[in-house]
Amino acid sequence: MVRLPIEEAIPALRQTLATGRAALLTAQPGAGKTTRVPLALLHEPWLAGQKLVLLEPRRLAARAAAAYMAAMLGEPVGKTVGYRIRHDTRVGKDTRIEVVTEGILTRLLQHDPSLAGYGLVIFDEFHERSLQADLGLAFARESQRLFRPDLRLLVMSATLDCAAVTRLLQDADTISCEGRLFPVTTQYLDRPIEGHLEPAVVRSIRQALARDEGSLLVFLPGMAEIRRVERQLVEASLGPDTLIAPLHGELPQHEQEQAILPAPAGRRKIVLATSIAETSLTIEGVRVVIDAGLMRVPRFDPRSGLTRLDTIRVTQDAADQRRGRAGRLEPGTCYRLWTTAEQQALLPRRPPEILEADLAPLALDLAEWGVIETQELAWLDPPPAGAISQARELLRQLGALDAQGALTAHGRRLAHVTVHPRLAHMMVTAVPVGLGAYACDLAALLSERDILQGGPGWRHADLRIRVEALRGNREHLAGATVNRAGGERVRRASEQWRRQLQLGAPSGDGTEHTGTLLAFAYPDRIAQRIAGSEGRYRLANGRGAAFHTVEGLSQEEYLVVAQLDGTGDWARVLLAAPVGLADLQHHCAGQIQAVDLLEWDDRSESVRARRQRRLGQLILDDRATHDPDPTQVAAALLFGIRRTGLSCLPWTKELQQWRARVGFLHRIDPTWPDLSDDALTNHLDAWLGPFVSGLTSLAQVCRLDLQSPLESLLTWQQRQELPKLVPTHLTVPSGSHVRLDYDQNETPVLAVRLQEMFGCQDTPRIAGGRVPVMVHLLSPAGRPVQVTKDLASFWRSAYQEVKKELRGRYPRHHWPDDPLTATPTNRTKRRT
């Protein structure tokens, strides 16, 4: 890759594109690629009879580039060179170069995937890696592959990962172009800024005015900072020779153009700009750049489903772009309001927007293109699977996609309304209920910046006062003023959507429908006030939201929240409107579900049956029900039994022994069921569930006979074998039937008076003769005198000692010398 002057780079570019190959043009600041390249390629033979489209990421840059090229041709905008941006189009029948913003290119491709009539697509400032630029390039590549092998693609950037782009464009030629950047002296702070940003910026401006010549371009993160710095500069009385010119995307077009033009002779200008001035604009007369080192970027939080604006450190590539603004026309100076150590810590570049953005619009565009799986297209960075899945789930909730992810008829209507799918759904859904025109106004208000401007700390979340202000009613502004330029943009957007939907202007007030319309767009953000709280709400998606100051809205029972800050456990409500429960029940009936809820009540030890109507995670009403689902009642009752423990069941001694007998057999033969506490608890549904149908409390369960439920765990054959293998009683030599105790030890216990076992040489056995019982030989008083599993050994060795010890104490009982020949007895016998 050889770096060439722009005059030599353009012939090389012509040669590459003439072969039909894609190209990548990297250019240093000041090269003039944005305007010189399209004009230089306009008369190429391969472009004969076709247009070229130049993609610009910002509306201001698109208009400025079109105006500059038209002026070079000595023509008005709209003749050879025109532009298409949102709500503003200047093209004519003779237009050959169309400068468009990113969303416009996507619509052109969706309308005609072959892009008939266009021979070249130029992606300018591609290093910004906006979502729509990535999507536009993916669509253009697909169009080239399927329909237009002759379609040329040119990617232009000042700072870009060239290798990844050339691979995507199938080894496109890379041409590097030198710029005409004059030397720029860069100065850093000695130590980091402490305290608020604005005073430090104002100090730097005053120092630069004293030290340097020419106009100043000051980069600030957003409009709020611009307003505060502007106010402090006005208070500083810089003198009549110094003009202050804000520059951001929300200004009227003529004010943006005034900021770009050179200052009048003998005067200096201070341009207070957002990142809008980083690229594609040359602001005449600027020799000094003051960079506050911050930028404001949108970030989507998949956990909350919200997009918030975060203020972050500028990246190295953006800082270099800003610095270059000082050296476009002559040598300059850049004051960076950070230290050299902080410079080393800056990220090289921002992550591509596709990795951080709300992907609902992208998912709708892909569905309209016919893409079900994102990997069907070639991407520089594919959309994250989690974010695209969440986006498609929202589209399904809005009815735009079917269960398979294909575009529905409703989704096709949404795709043709050029706005976020939520707002498109609101407008399309509002038409049949007679609220379409109001929905267009509301969508326009939500898609632009707030048209109300208040003083420091001003907060008013009620969206209805914006609707009223748009229609000229200023009664409830509460100290705010209306941004007239913003209001005009809102009106133009609303008018355009009304034309698309073939609607007239709204008649009457309609403000009372604001909450209902918002519920169409934000069904997941319908909010219910938490009882007993001050301004705290639960959203239908389960998250919390709150007002940080007391407002009229904070006492409403139901709201729909259009904007949240998205941070913390309780996100702050920024924009909302109230909605009545009756309206929710009527217009959101399809989302309301009746849920039978059966809960175990520890206090009453019973099942409580309630029927709730829910909208998402919100409980609209909660009432006791007398006809609950018997299956769910049984499940709740079994839950209560598990929670209380098996000891709450009506166990009798006989049942405990029966359970112990089966448990004994399980220990020696695992084919018998496990009746331990854990096993019975884990399988409660299987053995007890069928027997509690119709019951709702522990008191009723305690009247059950557990024998049948427990026996249901045995097979028929096991029930027949049980009394044979583990009898409840054994007949001892005296003729007594003595109960076996299975519940004390691993081995069943036969507790019997010693005299009743005379003549019994072998230990009794159970389980088909496999297991000897544990014999507890008792004294006449019923106390154990010997525990043994080997009776024969006892008679031989231990009996004589036992006889000596007990004969004196129990003289009325028989103590023979030979117990094996003595007659067993269960009675006392006087000695003769």
Question: Which is more confidently placed, 310 or 387?
Answer: 387
| Shared-domain flag, residues 263 and 369 | no
Residue 816 placed within a domain: no
Average the pLDDT over each of 145-159, 196-210, 470-484 and give the range with the smallest value.
470-484
Cα 388 to Cα 374: distance, rounded to the nearest angstrom = 9
| Shared-domain flag, residues 46 and 171 | yes
CB of 522 closer than 8 Å to CB of 424: no
Residue 29 has what pLDDT? 65
Question: Which is more confidently placed, 139 or 569?
Answer: 139
Residue 682 has what pLDDT? 93
Q: pLDDT-based confidence at 714, cuts 50/70/90?
A: very high
Residue 568 has what pLDDT? 66
Residue 179 has what pLDDT? 67
Residue 292 placed within a domain: yes
| Shared-domain flag, residues 197 and 244 | yes
Residue 830 has what pLDDT? 47
Average the pLDDT over each of 113-117, 645-649, 743-747 and give the range with the smallest value.
743-747
Which of 416, 440, 457 delimits the end of a domain? Answer: 416
Average pLDDT over residues 813-822: 91
| Shared-domain flag, residues 23 and 119 | yes
Q: What is the CATH number of the domain that holds 579?
A: 2.40.50
CB of 271 closer than 8 Å to CB of 217: yes
Percentage of the chain exceeding pLDDT 90: 59
| Shared-domain flag, residues 281 and 221 | yes
Residue 534 has what pLDDT? 82
Beta strands in 40-94 (DSSP E): 51-56, 81-85, 88-90
Residue 557 placed within a domain: yes
Q: pLDDT-based confidence at 30, cuts 50/70/90?
A: low
Q: What is the DSSP string of 269-323?
A: EEEEE-GGGSSS---TTEEEEEE--EEEEEEEETTTTEEEEEEEEPPHHHHHHHH
Q: Residues of 290-318 as b/e, b for ≥16 C-beta within 10 angstroms?
A: bbbbbbbbebbeeebbbbbeeeeebbbbb
Q: What range defines the domain where residue 467 resides?
A: 419-517
Cα 401 to Cα 159: distance, rounded to the nearest angstrom = 38
Residue 381 placed within a domain: yes
Q: Report in angstroms the alpha-carbon separations of 824 from 524, 735, 756, 757, 813.
A: 85, 9, 5, 6, 11
Residue 815 placed within a domain: no
| Shared-domain flag, residues 425 and 394 | no
Token pair 């105006």 is found at 67
Q: pLDDT-based confidence at 831, cuts 50/70/90?
A: very low
**pLDDT value at 813 more than 60:** yes
Residue 637 placed within a domain: no
| Shared-domain flag, residues 152 and 192 | no
747 is written with which tokens?
Answer: 């081995």
Average the pLDDT over each of 174-183, 496-505, 719-728 and give the range with the smallest value.
174-183
Q: Distance between terminal CA atoms of the chain? A: 128
Residue type at 823 in one-letter notation: T
Token pair 């099942």 is found at 607
Average pLDDT over residues 789-803: 92
Average pLDDT over residues 239-268: 83
Average pLDDT over residues 788-797: 93
CB of 205 closer than 8 Å to CB of 216: yes
| Shared-domain flag, residues 70 and 141 | yes
Residue type at 623 in one-letter notation: R
**pLDDT value at 112 more than 90:** yes
CB of 422 closer than 8 Å to CB of 397: no
CB of 371 closer than 8 Å to CB of 139: no
* Interacting residues of 830 by C-beta distance below 8 A, sequence separation 6+: 812
Which of 369, 399, 416 delimits the end of a domain? Answer: 416
Residue 304 has what pLDDT? 57
Residue 624 has what pLDDT? 86
Average pLDDT for the chain? 89
| Shared-domain flag, residues 342 and 284 | yes
Does an H or E element contain 177, and which?
A: strand 173-177
Residue 171 has what pLDDT? 77
Which of 177, 207, 241 delimits the end of a domain? Answer: 177
| Shared-domain flag, residues 256 and 340 | yes
Residue 769 has what pLDDT? 92
Q: What is the pLDDT of residues 357-369, one digit of tens each?
A: 899 999 999 999 9
| Shared-domain flag, residues 265 and 292 | yes
Residue 426 has what pLDDT? 96
Within the chain, how many helices (H) and strands (E) appear? 29, 34
Question: Which is more confidently placed, 485 or 419?
Answer: 419
Q: What is the pLDDT of residues 270-312, one digit of tens each?
A: 999 988 777 766 777 889 999 999 998 877 766 656 666 788 8
Q: Is the dihedral of CA 625, 626, 632, 637 positive or negative?
A: positive
Residue 812 placed within a domain: no
Domain count along the chain: 7
| Shared-domain flag, residues 75 and 131 | yes
Beta bridge partners of residue 609, listed in sequence order: 598
Residue 280 has what pLDDT? 65
Average pLDDT over residues 6-25: 86
